[in-house]
C-alpha cells in the first residue's frame, strides 16, 4: 500500500472504520492514516458490484422494497442509486442515439400512473399525479429504441416525442403509429417529407365475458385498417406488432408498470429515471431473442453485450 501523502510504501494496517469495517492504513514514515481507495458509483459508498446487482434486480421486475429486503440496503439508498443511474443513462442516450439510419419505425404509448389513477385523484393531489404515458419509437429491423418521452397523453407530449425522434434519425423512413389524433399534426410539423407515414386503425368489438373475477375492458380488437397519412408507405410493413411486443417487455421488466399491484410510482422523476435506465439497458445490455445480439450491436453502435457497470461508466 502506498501512502497518499508521502508516496512511501511503508504502510501497515491500522484497524477498521465504520459499520462497513473499511480497512484503514497508517504510514510508518509520515504517520498519516487513510482508507484503502475503492471505486464507487457517483456519491454512493456502495460497491459497484452491489449497485449493478440492485439495478439488475430492478430491471428484472422486482419492486424497490423487495430489493431492499433481499439486499439489506435501505430503500432510500436504492432510489438514490436509481436517480444516479437515470441521470447517467440520460447522458449516454444523448451521446449514442444520434444520427441513426433506419428504414422502418413503429411508435406507440403505454399507460401507467403516478400516485393514483386519474379518476381517483384527490383535490389536493400534486400536479404530477395521475395517468402518465411512456411514448417510444422502435426500429422494426434492429429492435432498437430510437426515442422515448414520459408525459401525458396529449398534444404537447406528442409534439415533444416526435420532435425528439426527428433529431435522432437521419434519412427517409417509414413510420407506423396507432390512430391517436395528435400524431398526425406532430409528424407533419417535425418530420414532414422525411417519412412515409401510415396509421394502423384498430377496430374494437365487444367480447362475451362471464364470471365475477374479470378485470379490465370488455372490448377486443377484431380487426385493423391501415390508413396512409403521408408519402407512400409500403403496405407490407404497416404494422405495430413489434412496438406492442416492446410494450410488453417494458411492463414485465419494470415493476412500476405492472398492473394490479401497489408497486406504482410515487414521484414522476423516479418514473422518468426508471424508464431511461430501461431504455439504455434494452438497447445495450439485453440480448434480443430474435437477433441473438443486443439492438445496439445490430445497429453497429456496440461490438459486445454491455454490463450494467459499463452502462454506468460509459456516460
Q: What is the CATH number of domain 48-313?
A: 3.30.420
- The rounded distance, in Å, linking the Cα atoms of 98 and 226 is 30
In 10 A of CB 69, how many CB atoms? 12
Domains of the chain, by residue range, sit at 1-37, 48-313
Instruction: Please compute, for residue 136, the number of CA atoms within 13 A of its CA located in the half-sphere on the CB side.
Output: 29
14 three-class SS: strand
99-148 confidence digits (pLDDT tens): 999 999 999 999 999 999 999 999 999 999 999 999 999 999 999 999 99
**220: helix, strand or coil:** strand
Q: What is the dihedral of CA 248, 251, 253, 255, to 10 degrees?
A: -160
> How does residue 211 score in pLDDT terms, banded at 50, 70 and 90?
low
Interval 45-92: pLDDT, tens: 788 899 999 999 999 999 999 999 999 999 999 999 999 999 999 999
Beta bridge partners of 150: 134
What is the pTM for the complete model shown? 0.88
Cell 397523453: give the residue: 153
DSSP string, 131-170: EEEEEEEEETTT--EEEEEEE-SSHHHHHHHHHHHHTTEE
Half-sphere exposure of 90 (CA within 13 A, CB side): 13
Amino acid at each position: 500500500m502506498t501512502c497518499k501523502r508521502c508516496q512511501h510504501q511503508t504502510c501497515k494496517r491500522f484497524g477498521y472504520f465504520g459499520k462497513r469495517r473499511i480497512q484503514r492504513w497508517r504510514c510508518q514514515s509520515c504517520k498519516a492514516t487513510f482508507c484503502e481507495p475503492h471505486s464507487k458509483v457517483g456519491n454512493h459508498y456502495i460497491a459497484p458490484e452491489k449497485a449493478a446487482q440492485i439495478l439488475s434486480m430492478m430491471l428484472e421486475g422486482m419492486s424497490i422494497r423487495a430489493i431492499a429486503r433481499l439486499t439489506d440496503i435501505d430503500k432510500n439508498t436504492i432510489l438514490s442509486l436509481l436517480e444516479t443511474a437515470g441521470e447517467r443513462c440520460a447522458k449516454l442516450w444523448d451521446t449514442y442515439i444520434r444520427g441513426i439510419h433506419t428504414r422502418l419505425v413503429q411508435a406507440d404509448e403505454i399507460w401507467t400512473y403516478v400516485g393514483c389513477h386519474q379518476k381517483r385523484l384527490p383535490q389536493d393531489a400534486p400536479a404530477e399525479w395521475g395517468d402518465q404515458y411512456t411514448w417510444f419509437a422502435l426500429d422494426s429491423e434492429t429492435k432498437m429504441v430510437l426515442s422515448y418521452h414520459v408525459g401525458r397523453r396529449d398534444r404537447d407530449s406528442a409534439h415533444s416525442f416526435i420532435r425528439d425522434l426527428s433529431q435522432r434519425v437521419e434519412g427517409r423512413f417509414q413510420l407506423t403509429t396507432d390512430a391517436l389524433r395528435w400524431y398526425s399534426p406532430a409528424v407533419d410539423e417535425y418530420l414532414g417529407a422525411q417519412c412515409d407515414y401510415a396509421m394502423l386503425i384498430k377496430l374494437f368489438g365487444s367480447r362475451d365475458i362471464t364470471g365475477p373475477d374479470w378485470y379490465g375492458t370488455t372490448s377486443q380488437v377484431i380487426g385493423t385498417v391501415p390508413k396512409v397519412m403521408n408519402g407512400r408507405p409500403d403496405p407490407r410493413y404497416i404494422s405495430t406488432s413489434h412496438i406492442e411486443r416492446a410494450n410488453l417487455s417494458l411492463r414485465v421488466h419494470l415493476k412500476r408498470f405492472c398492473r394490479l399491484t401497489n408497486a406504482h410510482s410515487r414521484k414522476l422523476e423516479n418514473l422518468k429515471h426508471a424508464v431511461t435506465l430501461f431504455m439504455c439497458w434494452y438497447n445495450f445490455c439485453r440480448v434480443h431473442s430474435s437477433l441473438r445480439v443486443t439492438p445496439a450491436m445490430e445497429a453497429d453502435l456496440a461490438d459486445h453485450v454491455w454490463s450494467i457497470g459499463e452502462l454506468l461508466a460509459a456516460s
